[in-house]
Amino acid sequence: AQKVTQAQTEISVVEKEDVTLDCVYETRDTTYYLFWYKQPPSGELVFLIRRNSFDEQNEISGRYSWNFQKSTSSFNFTITASQVVDSAVYFCALSGYNNNDMRFGAGTRLTVKP
Partner 1 sequence: GAVVSQHPSWVICKSGTSVKIECRSLDFQATTMFWYRQFPKQSLMLMATSNEGSKATYEQGVEKDKFLINHASLTLSTLTVTSAHPEDSSFYICSASGGWDGLGKTFGSGTRLTVV
Nearest to 30 by CA among 52, 49, 57, 3: 52
The amino acid occupying position 99 is N
Residue 83 makes contact with partner 1 by CB under 8 A: no
Residue 93 makes contact with partner 1 by CB under 8 A: yes
Stretch in the footprint of partner 1 (CB under 8 A) among 14-22, 57-65, 71-79, 95-103 = 95-103
Residue 22 makes contact with partner 1 by CB under 8 A: no
Residue 102 makes contact with partner 1 by CB under 8 A: yes
| Distance in Å, CB of 62 to partner 1, minimum | 18
Residue 13 makes contact with partner 1 by CB under 8 A: no
Asked if 44 and 52 touch (Cβ cutoff 8 Å), the reply is no
Q: By three-state DSSP, how is residue 70 classified?
A: helix
Q: What's the distance, Cα to Cα, between the start and end of the chain in Å?
A: 41
- Taken as a whole, the chain contains a residue count of 114
Binding region for partner 1 (CB under 8 A): 33, 35, 37, 42-45, 47, 50, 91, 93, 95, 98-107
